[in-house]
Amino acid sequence: MNKVRIAAFAALILFPLAGFAADKKSPPPEVKTLLAAQGEKNMLPGGGWFAWKFTGKPKLGTVIVRVELFGKDGKPAKDLEFVGESGMPAMRYHDSGPVKFQLNKKGYYLLPVDVVMAGEWQLVIRVKKAKKEIYAGKVLFSV
């Protein structure tokens, strides 16, 4: 009888915890590569490059990040996907999670970044081709 009670108690305690652990997603790997400064080339594997910039000085509120993509020939391209993640490295409560850049009519990839408090911020830009990540770099900035 005690074995049945112990087994029932264990099932009530351990099974919900096992489900909780299985649902939790692991964070993406840390990106150590720093991106080139605003407007400068970031070379991509296989040729081509991209340049990024803030459309205005980062401040509290929403700041837009703009990425321009160029092919091997130096002409504007639109064949890759950009995903951004923003947050405060010292305070993970404000992390955006992965957000896809949106391609506008002019061929710029745009991402709004919500800066909710002053401090040190990080933006990670991931580049994907056919849903496979081919490049990732980060930008550190202060508000």
DSSP assignment of the chain: -HHHHHHHHHHHHHHHHHHHHHHSPPPPPPP-PBPPPTTS-EE-TTS-EEEEEESS---SEEEEEEEEEE-TTSSB---SEEEEEEEBTTBGGG----EEPEE-TTS-EEEEEEE-SSSEEEEEEEEEETTEEEEEEEEEEE-
**pLDDT at residue 25, rounded to an integer:** 54
The pTM of this model reads 0.78
- Whether the predicted pLDDT of 142 surpasses 90: yes
For 57-106, the pLDDT digits (tens) are 999 999 999 999 999 999 999 999 999 999 999 887 778 999 999 999 99
